[in-house]
Amino acid sequence: MDAQAIYMYQNSPNDNGPRGTQRPNSSGNSNGNGGNGGGGNSMSILVRTILVVVVVLLGWYFFQYFFQGGSSSSSNPNALEVPYSTFYQQVQQSNVQKVVFQGQDITGQFKTAITVPNPNGSGTQTGVDFHLTQLPNGDPTLNALILKNVPDFETKPVQDNNLIWTILLNVVPWLLIIGVFFFIARRATQSQQNIFSFGKSRAKLVLEDRPSTTFADVAGVDEAKGDLVEVVEFLKTPQKFQRLGGKIPRGVLLVGPPGTGKTLLARAVAGEASVPFFSMSGSEFVEVLVGVGASRVRDLFDQAKKASPSIIFIDEIDAVGRQRGSSINSNDEREQTLTQLLVEMVGFDARQAVVVIAATNRPDGLDKALLRPGRFDRRVTVDRPDWNGRLAILKIHSRNVPLGRDVDLITIARGTPGMVGADLANLVNEAALLAARRNLDAVTQSCFDEALDKILIGAERPLILSDDDLNVIAYHEGGHALTGLLTEGVDPVTKVTIVPRGQALGVTMYTPLDDRYNYSRDYLEAQMVTALGGRAAEQVAIGHITTGAENDLQRVTAIARQMVTRWGMSDRLGTISYSEREDPFAGTSLATGSREYSERTAAVIDEEVNRLVKVAYDKAVSLLTEHKATLDAIAKTLRLHETVDARQLREIMVETGSIEAAPASYR
């Protein structure tokens, strides 16, 4: 019973093999790819096969040793081993009752027992049964003598199959052993060199896989799912798309932290469209020596094209697709592989319905060529789930796990901010294992609690944010959002979240109203106010400030400096450009170019920058102090829901009475 709980869980219809239960660390784990990547799996099958062969061979040999050993000294192991001379004597003395000739084997019985020395020289043996150790090589007198003196005399035919059997027993095992050694040797050399196989055989490493995963197996990433629906449609009826001249999806880049379900999503797309799924990991391409990576890419695409419509999934594409020439020891192999990948993607025939899905958690360093139209021109973000998402994921993974009555998945979902799908799958599995170890009929809440402790202690990175941290983050993001809502002329806030994204612990998202080519002074000042709204909120609500605003401060300083030096927006310095060029919103480090002004001017610039930032900060603080009740309510709602959208924000502002201050653009 206890084992059943685990068994059922692991057999859950996610068809993602053993991987579903283990945390895929950002990299290096590509070989454990379970069902999809051929490599790891076929290797373990190989090892198992070799083991079986070796065991069978050993058994065979032992069997043969004893069996043959027995038969060669006649069926009777107690038979005396007598030399030919003794036998001849006994026949002469008429003491032989029976002789059986079988080929060159001679056995028989004496009438009365005789005693002969042991063949090994120590002691003697006595008995009636005998076996000849020496063969009677054409003794012409023997036949007559036997006919005369031996009453029972028999010649058995030599058994032919016995001979064949002997040959088989002796030759086949060696053939097998040699074969296995060759196989191993080939496998070993395959990753080293490319002499024997010109790529083609390698393609078999990528197994055709038809996942049964569907979108129902993926939760908490609804936006990503929505983006991928079109790909499914295309793969289902490519003709329809092609006939209507619709833009065919070619390459989709899934971007998100490890364990958020990128691989799962790609498999679900294949499952939904019921097309074959070919997958390989970027690191697998580059692990091998020169020339192989590129040929692997070619094989992969050839295979997928033959099976079209189909999906190619490339995990960890950053391993291949890093910007060319960006590292000091540039890797030719990687560049060749990347070039081949680009060639293949561009070279698709319009009739070939093959969609390439790639995954990465580091999209920034990707080679620009990969992102051009016709390549990975669609980007789908796979974010960490908020608590509703986490609840849905927990439900999926506990589908086949008997849960105790006291288990409250909602509480678990709420208590695991920051965790991704893989973490949650792991949590359910650990809890089920604990229940099994305790011989329980169902997984109880205490199993979950203990499993969570165990996972958190064992984790390399903090998986869960502390309550205090979450509080600070909620106020910080709430501050950005509220100052944004209260300030005229800034881009409207669309969504605030305290679910970590990439490096950020929380995010406030704005939609630019339209493309801006000119920034007005008001706009820039308002930008600074909202950018400082996070830090200001920490100050207003919590009373002390944290390091979480580093990026905000860089951005604000960059804007202020540009206003002063580039756009002539400082009254004190006047409309003079002090030619420092940089992207005002990138928050990059300050200009490194040569300066064209004096130390004194530089000091004035610094003062002006400081003043602009201070004015903006004070404005943010006073706004938030005035609307403290609203700020509190937003922070509280954020803690509760983790994500708050524009509509909810507006409702909060109405409830707390600061709606009048909402900008007109917001209504």
271: contact with ligand ADP by CB under 6 A: no
Q: Is residue 439 helix, strand or coil? A: coil
Q: Is residue 184 helix, strand or coil? A: helix
From candidates 258, 309, 478, 479, binder to ligand ADP by CB under 6 A: 258
> Which of positions 359-418 make contact with ligand ADP (CB under 6 A)?
359, 393, 396
> Which of positions 116-175 make contact with ligand ADP (CB under 6 A)?
none
**Residue of minimal Cβ distance to Zn ion:** 534
Measured CA distances, 218 to 2, 92, 253, 268 (Å): 27, 93, 17, 8
The answer to whether 477 is a known catalytic residue is: yes
Q: Tell me whether residue 102 or residue 554 sits nearer to Zn ion (CB atom).
A: 554
From candidates 30, 74, 86, 263, binder to ligand ADP by CB under 6 A: 263
From candidates 552, 580, 608, 642, binder to Zn ion by CB under 5 A: 552
> Which of positions 529-548 make contact with Zn ion (CB under 5 A)?
534
Cα 470 from Cα 635, distance rounded (Å): 10
Note every long-range contact of 451-457, with CB atoms under 8 Å and residues 24 or more positions apart, other chains counting.
451/427, 452/412, 452/415, 452/416, 452/427, 454/430, 455/423, 455/426, 455/427, 455/430
Contact window for ligand ADP (CB under 6 A) among 262-270, 349-357, 366-374, 456-464: 262-270
Counting residues that bind ligand ADP (by CB under 6 A) gives: 23
Cα 186 from Cα 597, distance rounded (Å): 69
**Minimum separation from the CB atom of position 407 to ligand ADP (A):** 18
DSSP code per residue over 591-625: P-SPP-S-HHHHHHHHHHHHHHHHHHHHHHHHHHH
Q: Which does 24 bind (CB under 5 to 8 A by kind): Zn ion, ligand ADP, none?
A: ligand ADP
Contact window for ligand ADP (CB under 6 A) among 18-26, 449-457, 463-471, 586-594: 18-26
**Sheet harboring 80-82: ordered strands across?**
80-82, 124-132, 105-117, 96-102, 152-156
**Residue of minimal Cβ distance to ligand ADP:** 421
276: contact with ligand ADP by CB under 6 A: no
> 361 and 317 in contact (C-beta within 8 Å)?
no
**Minimum separation from the CB atom of position 221 to ligand ADP (A):** 5
User: Which residues are 153's β-sheet partners?
Assistant: 99
36: contact with ligand ADP by CB under 6 A: no
Task: Phi first, then psi: give them for residue 76, nearest 5 degrees.
Answer: -105, 115
Q: Which does 534 bind (CB under 5 to 8 A by kind): Zn ion, ligand ADP, none?
A: Zn ion
Q: Tell me whether residue 24 or residue 282 sits nearer to ligand ADP (CB atom).
A: 24
From candidates 29, 90, 260, 360, binder to ligand ADP by CB under 6 A: 260
Strand (E) or helix (H) holding 131? strand 124-132
**Minimum separation from the CB atom of position 27 to ligand ADP (A):** 10
Neighbouring C-beta atoms of residue 394, cutoff 10 Å: 26
**Minimum separation from the CB atom of position 509 to Zn ion (A):** 12
Neighbouring C-beta atoms of residue 40, cutoff 10 Å: 18
Q: Which does 258 bind (CB under 5 to 8 A by kind): ligand ADP, Zn ion, none?
A: ligand ADP
Q: Which does 220 bind (CB under 5 to 8 A by kind): ligand ADP, Zn ion, none?
A: ligand ADP
**Residue 132 backbone zone (phi > 0: left; psi -120 to 50: alpha; other: beta):** beta
**Minimum separation from the CB atom of position 532 to Zn ion (A):** 9
**Minimum separation from the CB atom of position 549 to ligand ADP (A):** 29
Chain mean position to CA 517 = 43
Q: Tell me whether residue 421 or residue 584 sits nearer to ligand ADP (CB atom).
A: 421
Counting residues that bind Zn ion (by CB under 5 A) gives: 2
Neighbouring C-beta atoms of residue 161, cutoff 10 Å: 8
**Residue of 272, 284, 430, 477 marked active site:** 477
Omega within 30 of 0 (cis) for the link into 83: no
Beta pairing class for 378-381 and 251-255: parallel
Q: Tell me whether residue 258 or residue 484 sits nearer to ligand ADP (CB atom).
A: 258
> 489 and 526 in contact (C-beta within 8 Å)?
yes
491: contact with Zn ion by CB under 5 A: no
Q: Tell me whether residue 111 or residue 210 sits nearer to ligand ADP (CB atom).
A: 210
261: contact with ligand ADP by CB under 6 A: yes
220: contact with Zn ion by CB under 5 A: no
> 426 and 266 in contact (C-beta within 8 Å)?
no
Length of the chain: 667
Strand (E) or helix (H) holding 465? none
> Which of positions 180-219 make contact with ligand ADP (CB under 6 A)?
218-219
19: contact with ligand ADP by CB under 6 A: yes
**Sheet harboring 277-281: ordered strands across?**
277-281, 310-315, 354-360, 251-255, 378-381
Contact window for Zn ion (CB under 5 A) among 283-291, 341-349, 517-525, 552-560: 552-560
Q: Cβ-count burial of 194 within 10 angstroms (0-12 exposed, 13-18 middle, 19+ buried)?
A: middle
**Minimum separation from the CB atom of position 260 to ligand ADP (A):** 5
Neighbouring C-beta atoms of residue 495, cutoff 10 Å: 16
Token pair 């038809």: residue: 210
Contact window for ligand ADP (CB under 6 A) among 11-19, 49-57, 108-116, 304-312: 11-19
Q: Which does 253 bind (CB under 5 to 8 A by kind): ligand ADP, Zn ion, none?
A: none
Residue 630 structure tokens? 């609203």
262: contact with ligand ADP by CB under 6 A: yes
608: contact with Zn ion by CB under 5 A: no
Interface mask toward ligand ADP for 228-257; x: CB under 6 A:
----------------------------x-
431: contact with ligand ADP by CB under 6 A: no
Q: Identify the sign of the CA torsion 472, 475, 481, 486.
A: negative
Beta pairing class for 80-82 and 251-255: unpaired
221: contact with ligand ADP by CB under 6 A: yes
> 32 and 16 in contact (C-beta within 8 Å)?
no
**Minimum separation from the CB atom of position 379 to ligand ADP (A):** 15
Q: What is the DSSP letter of 542?
A: I
Task: Phi first, then psi: give them for residue 309, nearest 5 degrees.
Answer: -70, 140
**Minimum separation from the CB atom of position 24 to ligand ADP (A):** 5
Given the rule CB under 6 A, which residues bind ligand ADP? Answer: 14, 16, 19-20, 24, 218-221, 256, 258-264, 359, 393, 396, 421-422, 425
Active site residues: 477
Residues that bind Zn ion (CB under 5 A): 534, 552
